[in-house]
Amino acid sequence: MSSGWTKEQVARWPRVIGRLEGTYTPPSLEAMTAEVSTALASQLDAVEREVTPSEVERKQRRGIVNHLTRTLERQIRGSKLHPFGSAETGLVLRRGDVDLCLVVKDIRKPKSVLRHLANVLESEDYRDIQTIGRAKVPIVKFTDAATGIPVDLSLNNALALRNTELIAAYVDLDPRVKSVALAVKHWALQRGLANAFNGTLSSYAWTVLVLRHLQSVDAPIVPNLQSGEPRRIETYDGRRHDTTVIVPEGFTPGTATAAELFAGFFHRWFVQHTWDKRIVSLREGDDPQRTKRRWPAPKHGPVKELQGAVDRMGHHVMAIEDPFDLDHDLSRVVKAEGWADLMEEGLRMWEGLVQGADLTTLLAPVDGLRLAPDQPRGLFDDLKGMDREKVAALLATKKAELNVAQERVDALVAEREEAIRLSKAMRGALKDTKGMSQEIRAVARGLRDRAAEMDQAKALRDAENQRLVLPRARIEEELKRLYHTLTAEVDVFRVPSLEREQRNFGRFFELQAMHKAKVASDAHHQRYIDLLRVQREEVKKIRTLEKDRKQTHADLLKDEPGLKEVRVRSGDVDEYDRRANRITRLLKSRRKERKQLSREVGRLEAFLKGGPQRGGGQRRQGRRGANRDGPRRPRVDVKEVRERAQSGGTLSLTDLGALLDQGGLPGAQQEAKQSKRHRHKSERHAASRRRNDIKQRRGKRGKGPRSPRE
C-alpha cells in the first residue's frame, strides 16, 4: 500500500495515485493508431443514435414545457417561462433534464416564491419535488409523473439564456460538435461524473470543456464566438456582463474526424492539461496562466484532503471559467473525492480507447449507479398483454376506490364546515342558519345575543384594567400597608413631615380608586366567564342536535390519522380553528388522491374502448362500427351531446370520443358562437321594443304627469 493512502483508496483510484507517485504513465497521443480511430468512428455513430431522444420523447418534452408555461404564468403574475439548456442547444441526452427558467419581476423573497412553486407543482401531480433555495440560483427540482422526465426550474436565471444562445451557436457551426459533446456527456453520465450536487462537474461544464477542446486542436473545428465587434453589454442582477456572440465569416474548420476529436478530448484534459497552472477560458479561446489571473492554485489541494492532512481543500481546484460570468468558476462544486473520480475515469477512458477496447464496455454504467430508463413510458405500457377481463376487474376496483375517496372528501368537507360553524357560533358570528332545524336556529340566536354580552363584559373589564397601575395582587397589599401607616400611633421622636403625609394620603386615595376598579374588573371578568360557560354548553347542544348528520361520516373519519391529533376537548374557539385548519391540509392530500384515482379510471376506460389495441393483428371495425373481437361500441346521439355540452352538462369519455370521431366538437363550438350572437341580437330587439312601447304610452297620455315607474 502506498504511503498516505488507504487500501480502499488505492483500489478505487489506482491510476491517479500511480501517476502521483510516478508508478503509472498514461499512453501518449501517438499511441492512438489509425485502425483504432476507424473502428471507434462507427461505434461513436451508434452511441449518438442511442443517446439521442426519440420523437416520442421530444413530444413529451414539448408537452411538459407547454403545460408548465400555462400553469406557472397563470399562478405567478408578471412571470415568463423560458426553456434553456441542452434541450434548446440540441445536446440533450435521452431521459435528460428539462431546464426551465422562470423570470419573475420584482422578486423580493425567492424562498417564498419557491415554496409557492412547490405547492403549485404538487397540486399538478408532479413528484419528487425538491427546493434548493441556498444555491446561487434558486432551483426547484421535480419529476413529471406521466413520463418520468426530470425537470429543473430555476428563478431569474436570465444569464443562462445567453449561455444557451452561445452553445447553440457553436453546435450549429459543425455536426462534429454535437457528436463529440453527446458522447462525452453520455460518458460522464454513465460513469457518475455529471452531478454537481455530488461533487463532480455539471453537464454544462463538460460542454464548455468539449468546446474549448475543439477550439484548441491543431486545426480548430470552431472559432472563438466571443471576439469581434460590435460588443453587447447587458446587466443582470445589478452586474454588467459582456454577452457578445458573433459568428465570424470565412472560417474554415479542420478535417479531424469526430472519433479523433473524441479520443483527443481525454488526452487533452486528463493527460496533457496542467490544471494547477492554467485556467480553461472559452471566452478567450486560450488557457491563461493562473498567476496572471484571479484564481491561484489552492494551497491545500485534493490530495492533502484525501490523505487526511487537511479537513478541506482550497477553491478553484480545476478552474473552468464561465463564458459570461467571469467570476464564476464552474469547478467550484468539485469535491476532493469527485476530483479523484474525474481523473481516474478520464485516464481509464483514454487508456481503453488507445488499447481499442469496445466503446460499449467503456461507457457501461459505474457499479451502483442507477440510471433512468432508456425508453419513455407509454400511457398503456403496463396494460399491454393483459386480458380485458383483468383490466375490467381492475377498473371496477379503481372505481370503488374512487367512490370511497369521494365519500372521504365529502366527509372532510362536512367536518371542516362544522368546525368553522361551531367556531363562529362561539364568537356569535353564526348568521346563516338556512337548512337547520328550529331548535338549532333558536340556539344560534341565543349564541349571537350572548356573544354580544360577552363582548360588552370583556370591553368593560379591559376598560377598568386600564386604570390599574400596579399589579392586581399588590393593590390590596399596598392599600393595607398605607392604611396601617396613616392610622398607627405616631412616634413623637419620628414625626413624619407634612409633605410626606400629604403624599401618603394622595397615594391612599389613588389605591382606593384602583381597588374599586379592580373589584369592577373582577365582576366583569366573572360575568364573561359565566357567559362563556353557558356558550360552551349551548354549542354542545348544536353538536347533539346534529348527531345524526355527523354519524353519517363518523365511520369514514374515525381512522383518519390527521384528525386524531387535533380533537376538541374543552370547546374553546382556538380548538375549533385548529381543527378546521388541520382538515384543510388533509383535504389537499385527499383531493390529490381522488384526482389520481380519477385519472386512472379514465385511463383504464380508454384502454377498454380499444384505442391502443386496434393494431397488432386485431380486426378493425367494419362500416357498421362492429368489432367482432370485443364489445360493440355504444351508439351516441351527437346532437344530444352537443346540446348537453352547450348547456354545461357533464360528458363521458364515450361522448367525447363520439364528438371527436364525427367532428362534432368544432360544430358544437360554432353553434355555441351562433347561439351567443342570436341571443345578443334578440336581447337588443327586446330592449328596442320596450323603448317603443314606453314612447307609445307617453304619446297617448299627452303632456300629463309621468308615472313614477317611467
346 or 499, greater pLDDT: 346
Average pLDDT, the chain: 79
Contacts of 294 (CB under 8 A, 6+ apart): none
Cis peptide before 230 (omega within 30 of 0): yes
Beta bridge partners of 151: 98, 142
Nearest to 57 by CA among 437, 355, 503, 374: 374
Q: Output the DSSP codes for 393-459.
A: HHHHHHHHHHHHHHHHHHHHHHHHHHHHHHHHHHHT-----TT--HHHHHHHHHHHHHHHHHHHHHH
Nearest to 655 by CA among 635, 675, 632, 629: 635
Instruction: Provide the pLDDT for residue 203.
Output: 93
- CA angle, 669 then 671 then 676, to 5°: 95
Interatomic CA distance for residues 142 and 127, integer angstroms: 6
Interatomic CA distance for residues 498 and 404, integer angstroms: 86
Q: What is the pLDDT of residues 93-132, one digit of tens each?
A: 988 899 999 998 877 777 788 888 888 888 888 888 998 8
* The three cell numbers locating residue 585: 391540509
Instruction: Provide the pLDDT for residue 162.
Output: 94
Strands 150-155 and 98-104: parallel
Least confident of 5-9, 162-166, 189-193, 449-453: 449-453
Q: What is the pLDDT of residues 540-564, one digit of tens each?
A: 666 565 555 555 555 555 556 555 5
Burial of 232 (0-12, 13-18, 19+ CB in 10 A): exposed
Greatest CA separation for the chain: 129
Residue found under cell 434548493: 132
Nearest to 504 by CA among 490, 518, 476, 483: 483
DSSP-assigned letter for residue 241 = E
Q: What is the pLDDT of residues 166-216, one digit of tens each?
A: 999 999 999 999 999 999 999 999 999 998 888 999 999 999 999 999 999
Nearest to 132 by CA among 293, 333, 292, 330: 333
Q: What is the pLDDT of residues 605-614, one digit of tens each?
A: 888 876 444 4
For 274-283, what is the mean pLDDT? Answer: 94
Contacts of 175 (CB under 8 A, 6+ apart): none
Is 652's pLDDT higher than 80? no
470 or 650, greater pLDDT: 470
Q: What is the pLDDT of residues 145-166, one digit of tens each?
A: 888 899 999 988 889 999 999 9
pLDDT band at 616 (very low <50, low <70, confident <90, very high): very low
What is the sign of the dihedral through the CA atoms of 661, 666, 669 and 675?
Answer: negative
Instruction: Provide the pLDDT for residue 418.
Output: 73
What is the sign of the dihedral through the CA atoms of 291, 293, 298 and 299?
Answer: positive
- 498-545 and 547-557 helices, crossing angle to 10°: 80
